[in-house]
Amino acid sequence: MGLDYEAMDEEHRRLQVMIRQVVNNNKAEPKDQTVMRVVVPNVLDSREGSSFDRRGTHSVTAKVYITHNGPEDLENLTLIVDCPQPFQTDQGSVAISSLRSSSAGPATPLVVPIVFSSPPDIPSPVTPEKVLLPTSLMVHLILAFLSPNGEPLTCKASFVLPLCLAGTIIPPVKNSQFKITLDTNRMPPQLPVLFDDVCSTSDPAAGNVLSFQYFNSNASDATILVSKNAGRYRIQSSSFEALWLLTSELVRRLKMYFGGDTDKHSAPVEPMPGLEGDLTNPNAPFAISYTENLPFQEYFTAIDGHFKSRQQLAASQQTLSERAHQFRSIQKRLLVRFKDRNPAPLANLDLLFEDTYKLLMDVADEVETNQAALTHAANSLTCCTNLMLLLIRYRFNLAKEDMNILKHYLSPVVVDSTSQGWEECTDAAMTHLLRTCLAKSAKESSSMPQPLSVPQDVNKLKKHIALVCDRIAKGGSLRGDATTVAAPSGGPKKSRAVSTTGSDGSTGPSG
């Protein structure tokens, strides 16, 4: 009996229509609204009034105001706090027994105070494994509860922690080992005006230079230098990862100051060769660009350090497993000797047992040290990836949609497990981009993906990252159809070449 493929296709279409109808009918949002509003001070809590009593910490208390206008009160709510590394909170989740409704009349909002703290000062001796830089200032809140009908509902809110929780202003520092330069089309404001929240409690900084030192970072710092005659900002530091947070804050505050939003355009445009020409045009939209070579060499150094830390941790864990097996075997032999009525001589088995125990403790300490080193390497890689994504965006003037896609492929969220790590997941994501929307030919699109496994090295990953940036520089779109690999009509786009030359003069792979 033959299969009626036309009937099967028709049934499949009918089922899809029914599913879309059901989904669309259920998309109506409930009329009852639960709103969260967060108030965060720009100054640190006083040491006497801080509930986060820990030596050497700096804390800020945020107040979350929760209101509900439904017909009935809510019960058994849970407020979940997602705090970025390395900041800490006094409670990761808050249980709320009930929330009064304001539908019958004005009701006082429920106030939930949450204390955020910087890590305590590092005791001497300071080792690199103990240093963790802030990966972000953004905090996400999720309020989970059940409606009176038993439906699970959530309410989300996000806010930015004050910069004073991450560090403090210090006298200008001259350290240009790592540096980047951002150009804008506006005359630069005074830096104390942009960073008035952190400069107000410190000595007045010079108008064109500002140095910021991070807490709990072994005196890591970053400095902003502003050109007096053009809208050019140089950010420099003694470490590449320390550039990220101050650069991100500078970009955010410049957008707020000039009221510009570079996310509004929906398609990439050619980078402006000289933004200084637009300094006298107040009607031009505020724009930021990065015209230097992307710092691949510095970024690849962070990837190498993270992968090496993974290998060292895996090797020490394997050694720990072998020592533990040896310890259990000797222990079993000793128990047999002790239970025997006529035991044979120990033959130094007790000494071997004691020495194995000491080796086991030493290897356990080594595993703990390597785990701390991996945490530090993951923290550095997160900061470096965030900085690379920001530079890629302003180097090629990517649209917001393209940047959101790229962040999912080149993810700054570094999560390592025993079976999968950041390197192999990112390499698979980069390979997928090169096989689909950034493919140059049908041959690349038809290539089969490789199984996900721990690589021997990260050379292929670094090559694929450079190739993705090169394809984007040549006009590739991350939102293009995977089957469309030919150049659009009207001739090829003007190429925006990308160089992989590092600060040390070495040259990486390019497509």
Q: Going by C-beta distance under 8 Å and a sequence separation of 6 or more, which residues neighbour residue 48?
A: none
Angle 491-495-497 from CA coordinates, rounded to 5°: 165
Residue 249: its pLDDT value, please? Answer: 94
Residue-by-residue DSSP string for 43-66: SPPPTTT-S---TT--EEEEEEEE
Residue 463 has pLDDT above 90, yes or no: yes
Q: Going by C-beta distance under 8 Å and a sequence separation of 6 or more, which residues neighbour residue 99?
A: 34, 66, 68, 73, 74, 75, 77, 110, 145
Question: Which residues share a beta bridge with 30?
Answer: none
Residue 234: its pLDDT value, please? Answer: 94
Average pLDDT over residues 309-335: 93
Q: Going by C-beta distance under 8 Å and a sequence separation of 6 or more, which residues neighbour residue 58?
A: 44, 117, 118, 164, 165, 215
388: pLDDT confidence band, cut at 50, 70 and 90? Answer: very high
Residue 24: its pLDDT value, please? Answer: 66
Residue 185 has pLDDT above 90, yes or no: no
d(CA 259, CA 110): 33
Preceding amide of 86 cis, omega within 30: yes
Three-state DSSP class for residue 94: strand
Residue 502: its pLDDT value, please? Answer: 44
Burial of 329 (0-12, 13-18, 19+ CB in 10 A): exposed
Distances (CA, A) of 94 to 81, 102, 450, 474: 8, 22, 44, 49
Distances (CA, A) of 10 to 2, 14, 193, 317: 17, 6, 65, 56
**What's the per-residue H, E or C state across 135-150?**
CCCEEEEEEEEECCCC
Pairing of β 288-289 and β 221-226: unpaired
Residue 94: its pLDDT value, please? Answer: 92
